[in-house]
Amino acid sequence: MSSGQESVFSEYEADTSQTSKLLRKFRETPFVPIGMAGFAMVVGYGLYKLKHRGEMKMSLHLIHMRVAAQGFVVGAITCGVLYSMFREHVLKPKE
């Protein structure tokens, strides 16, 4: 690079901290971190309930928790896609 040429990635080089990257990503696609947080909550709840599952078999309990976690993530991704389509096609002014 020459000294007079500005870096192509100057916007991304300015945001070097993990917190600022996470906040930028949350503003761009808010449903991805929501899906990740929901997944973590379902897994945490599943681990808590693992101790108090009663007569339920462990394999059945784990299957239920896996389906719940996947459902939350797929739901969040679907909401994100619908939100981005709404933002692109409905809120975008006609050209």
| In the chain, where the domains are located | 59-94
Q: What is the DSSP letter of 9?
A: T
Q: What pLDDT score does 4 carry? A: 53
Give the chain's residues under pLDDT 50.
1, 15
The CA angle 44-84-81, to the nearest 5 degrees, is 50
Amino acid at residue number 69: A
55: left (phi over 0), alpha (psi -120 to 50) or beta: alpha
Task: Tell me how far CA of residue 38 lies from CA of 14, 16, 23, 65, 68, in angstroms.
Answer: 30, 26, 17, 12, 10
Q: According to the model, what pLDDT value does residue 7 have?
A: 55
The torsion region of residue 54 among left (phi > 0), alpha (psi -120 to 50) and beta comes to left
